[in-house]
Amino acid sequence: MGVVDGFNHHLFLYRAARSATAGVPGRFQAAVEMLVDWVEDQAKSIVNNAESRRFVAPLALTVFLWIILMNVLDLLPVDFLGWVFIQTGLGAEHGDPLYYHRILPTADLNVPMGMSLGVLLLTLYYGIKIKKPGGFVKELFTAPFSFGGIAGILLSPFNFLLNIIEYGAKTVSLGMRLFGNMFAGELVFMLIALLGGAWTGFNGASIGLGIGHVLAGSVWAIFHILIVLLQAFIFMMLTLVYVGQAHESH
């Protein structure tokens, strides 16, 4: 699903680029231009290197749209894709519709942690590129506690350990934040779906659970739209912040 979402996101931007005109833009072109300008402004306010922004700003836009497209899969009915796969025979190798109920890529720890590891590699790359290998290694041992003489030598192992912990904590928290929120949201959708699955006929309990299923599902879906956008925004902004920090010296 993540690969499909990535293709759709690139198709979305490709379509906007192909249909762009020099005159008065249409609504689609205007919306895309506003989104691109907004991400560019965010990058300018955080990453102070213009050359780096030529890569980082489009990357931030890609991350933002990709996460949104992956997250909105959570708004599909819980058993819809399972039903489609079983009906078309595509799910015959598993034979269990429940296998397809958890389709959200960002609720699979491999996806958000893989993306956060990519951000870690990017921060290391820019840290070495901007500060040079010698300066980057020196900063690992001399920051955040910088002293001269014997005190600096004694503190260098602690500085190195703190910096390694900082890199690890940033990476884990970045991926786990996205995973935790989307996993919980998907779980709530599945629990709400159980209300509809309790239908046993036209009786008071079943009708009450059915109405509760529709109301709870609708309210949670509307609220979940905010979560979808917010998690994409947070991941994008933290990506920019971490890359921006890689350009700065302690």
* Active-site residue list: 173, 177, 181
Q: State the sign of the Cα–Cα–Cα–Cα dihedral 65, 55, 106, 162.
A: negative
For the chain, give the number of residues: 250
The encoded tokens of residue 114 equal: 């893989």
Q: Which long-range contacts (CB under 8 A, 24 or more apart) does 40-46 make?
A: 42/236, 42/237, 42/240, 43/240, 46/237, 46/240, 46/241, 46/243, 46/244
Report the distance separating Cα 241 and Cα 46, nearest Å: 6
Torsion angles phi and psi, residue 23, rounded to 5:
-85, -150
In DSSP notation, 100-160 reads GS---GGGSTHHHHHHHHHHHHHHHHHHHHHHHHHHHHHHHHHSSS---HHHHHHHHHHHH
